[in-house]
Structure 1
Amino acid sequence: MANLIVVCGPQAVGKMTVAESLRDKLRYNMMMNHDSIEMSDKIFGFDTPAQREFNSLFRKNAFELAVKHNVDLIFTYVCAFDMKEDLAYLESLKNLFEQAGGHFFFVELKATLEERLFRNETPHRMERKASKKDVEWSRANLLQDAENHKLNTDEGEKCFENHIKIDNTHLEPDEVADRVIQKFGLVPNDKDEKEYRFGV
């Protein structure tokens, strides 16, 4: 039985660093949304039909293999809560893992726009996400999505039974991870480091 933790929130809110902390504390495997994006961009070019299809297949196969082989997984995702297809996608992931006997945990992060614009240009982000090295485009994309989409739930709104929302504007990633672990009563796996973070 595999568990899935989705770390969700707008661009540059800190999903990757929180997910990395959860990975190391829980010994879960991790797939960033940008793992499939960067790979498909590299092969098929930016935002081409082939890129979009490969990106979708990459993720679908990864989730199905995690369930098949009982691999606990962390996934980072930007959800537009005003778009039904985004919520339907998350619901499909929840169903996939729960129908196989696992659990689905939804971690929603929020931070001020000022803080997100600062984090958008941090060296760690640039290192891990090649597409973000074009800072001018990345900043414009961040601002455009913030203007056009609902990237966080409303106060008191809850999308899933296991849903925690954390304002991490002034929190370190380890602090956020500890809150998540405590909230859901998560227990670390017994895995060698090479089994969950090989080459990272």
Structure 2
Amino acid sequence: MIDTRELYAPTLLYVVGPPAVGKMTVAYEIAQRTGLKVFHNHLSIEPALRFFEFGSPPFVRTVSEFRSRIFTEVASSNLPGLIFTFVWAFDLPSDQAELEHYATPFRSRGGQVIYLELSASEEVRLERNKGELRLAEKPSKRDLEWSQRNLLELDRKYQLNSNGEFDERADYLRIDNTELSADTVALRTIEHFGLGWQISE
């Protein structure tokens, strides 16, 4: 078996955007075609919620330390890389600092760090908020009344899309997927960033 470390530096793909925009679904479609592993943000959130209140200091520490360990271990392994989904509040410098922190082990190995930003209308996202995969993977979202209210509150409180701020960057791709399938977005992303080399026959 070929050790991918001999051929490629690890790839870190951030899939960012507001709640229920389709980040996780797109991530799984990309993973199917590239071999990259999916680490959606609720894989760290849901276990911590069993013990600590969301946003509390022990919750934040637990989530941050778990995420950091996964990023470090994947970057130093023979895996081709990682896809991480994240609700990025662009008006919070701490969110950008967090993403840079997680990227450090990938950059230190000469890996590429790339960004896919998704946007969709609020109406479409409210519908996707009830999606089967979303509710299966994210138990805390199954309280639909709370989940819908939280989505709307986050939309009002934070800037959850870049509004074109990074469009000139080679490491950044922004797609409005209001009317696009996850499959279409995945293929467009793979082509844009040249991830086809990871597709196995």
- CA apart distance, 1:2: 1.3
Of 90, 93, 98, the residue aligned with 1:81 is 90
Q: 1:54 to 1:183 in 2, by over 3 A?
A: same
Tell me the percent identity.
Answer: 38
SS of 1:187's equivalent? helix
Residue 33 (1) aligns with residue 24 (2): no
- Residue in 2 aligned with 1:109? 118
Supply the distance in 2 between the matched residues of 1:113 and 1:53 (Cα, whole angstroms).
31
- Residue in 2 aligned with 1:137? 146
Contact 2:68 2:102 in 1 (8 A): no
Read off the aligned partner of 1:45 and give its amino acid letter. F
Contact 2:71 2:103 in 1 (8 A): no
Supply the distance in 2 between the matched residues of 1:60 and 1:158 (Cα, whole angstroms).
28
Residue 45 (1) aligns with residue 37 (2): no
1:136-189 CA-to-partner distances (Å, cap 9, x unmatched) read 111111101100100001235348541000000011101000000110111353
Contact 1:112 1:169 in 2 (8 A): yes
Supply the distance in 1 between the matched residues of 2:108 and 2:168 (Cα, whole angstroms).
18
Q: How many residues align?
A: 191
Q: Which runs of 4+ in 1 moved over 6 A?
A: none
- Residue in 1 aligned with 2:14? 6
Contact 1:5 1:106 in 2 (8 A): yes
TM-score by length of 1: 0.89
Supply the distance in 2 between the matched residues of 1:11 and 1:95 (Cα, whole angstroms).
25
Instruction: Extract unaligned runs of 5+ from structure 1.
Output: 192-200
